[in-house]
Amino acid sequence: MRTRVFAIFGILLFLCGIPLGAQTQGDRDSGKQDVVVILDISGSMNENGKFTNVKEYLNTEVFDGLLKTGDSFTLITFGNTAKESFSRTVSSEADRNELRRFLRDLKADNHFTDIGVAMETLSSILERRGDSRAREVILFITDGMHTPPRESPYYKKDLAVDEKFLSIGEKISKAGWFLYVVGIGGQTDAKTIADAVPGSVYTRTDEKFSDVETGALVADAAAREEEMARQRREEELAAARAGQVEEEGQAESEAALSSFFRKLGELTGISPDALVYIVPGILVLVLLVIGLLLLRALRGVNIVVSDNTGGRPNRVERRLGPMKGILLNSMDGSLPGIGGEDKGVFRVERGIFGLKVRIMDEEAIAPRSPYKKAGVHKLTGAIIELVNGNKILVAVNKK
């Protein structure tokens, strides 16, 4: 009953336009932002004033335009390796000034561009953030191809097909972060980065960094959040409907079972409440009996076959598993009282429900024997009489 109430409540919320477990655009606009900039500091960023132009963009568009009081900001730099260089909640103008001073003193002096380690470091830092209700935006800026140092785990790796790199991108996307990748110039791996993170946006700009719009970044992030919220609503609605269907199916099954016990009670004169316990008990007992019979049928048995030729007993003992048998004649000399030296006289077989005798040479069997006819016989008597007068004993050794 409780599950059904929750399912109906969830459906009503969805139809009324109220999101389940996700913020609306208005919630995000009025809330905080968590902004991460991951910046390439390889030496090539100094060419033609690129690094100066990027710093100017961050100062004017991000620090002054995008960040509001109460927002969080993190700067990750990468080149030879990657690290978290600056992280702060912007609580005052003093925080902004400190951020500007740090950026002003930052240099692009690394010799390599390790994009793989950069993404791995980014993912590790984001994991430490935990669940955030702020708008989560990442701005990834690079001007180069993936050229890591020899000691990098991504050395000579093709990031477009590297499983570890792609799994990191998938994890960042599922965590709800919006990634905006900016490639400076035409020879970069920026598109590869964006392709690794579902839902991200890639843009290419020139050395002046002139056509990167912060407003477009925020708008794209907002659109991504709306899409994720819509997907969450659909998933939760589907789960609510599935729960309702499951409960209805369970209720129908319970009703059918209740009807069965009621009718059985009318036939037997036993209370339906008592039958609820009696019937399962009988079923368990039947299953136990069947299990014991199968266990007995499948275990091996020791078969003893003997004759008494010349007053001296001869004996052969074999262990037979299910559907196994032993062919008997006197070729090996162990049972000389059995004829048919050139072929088998009979075969003792272990059936599922007992021993069987398969007559191979009916001419060797005494005329009055119940096993005279060729074929398979259930072993009803322990003695098989032969035409030569010998009586062959077939028995189970229970020791």
Tens of pLDDT, residue by residue over 88-137, are 999 998 999 999 999 999 999 999 999 999 999 999 999 887 656 788 88
Alpha-carbon span 183 to 46, nearest angstrom: 15
What is the fold, at CATH topology level, of the domain defined by 33-208?
Answer: Rossmann fold (3.40.50)
- The full length of the chain comes to 399
Alpha-carbon span 145 to 149, nearest angstrom: 13
Instruction: Return phi, psi of residue 69, to 5°.
Output: -60, 130
* pLDDT in the model for residue 217: 65
CATH number for the segment(s) 301-397 = 2.60.200.20
- How close are the terminal C-alpha atoms of the chain, in Å? 61
CA atoms in the 13 A half-sphere facing the CB of 167:
4
| DSSP assignments along 103-141, one per residue | HHH----BS-B-HHHHHHHHHHHHHHH-S--SEEEEEEE
Percent of the chain exceeding pLDDT 70 equals 83
Q: State yes or no: pLDDT of 13 exceeds 60.
A: no
Percent of the chain exceeding pLDDT 90 equals 34
Q: State yes or no: pLDDT of 335 exceeds 80.
A: no
Are 337 and 388 in contact by the 8 Å Cβ rule? The answer is yes
* pLDDT in the model for residue 214: 64
Distances (CA, A) of 149 to 48, 142, 167: 24, 17, 22
* pLDDT in the model for residue 218: 63
Flag whether the pTM goes above 0.75: no
Rounded average pLDDT over 172-184: 90
Q: Where are the alpha helices (DSSP H) in the chain?
A: 2-15, 25-30, 50-57, 93-105, 115-129, 163-174, 190-196, 214-268, 272-298
* pLDDT in the model for residue 399: 62
Alpha-carbon span 39 to 85, nearest angstrom: 10
Where are the domain boundaries for CATH 2.60.200.20 in the chain?
Answer: 301-397
Sheet holding 72-78, edge to edge: 82-89, 72-78, 33-40, 135-142, 178-184, 201-205
Give the model's confidence band at 246: pLDDT under 50 very low, under 70 low, under 90 confident, else very high: confident
Are 87 and 74 in contact by the 8 Å Cβ rule? The answer is yes
Where are the domain boundaries for CATH 3.40.50.410 in the chain?
Answer: 33-208
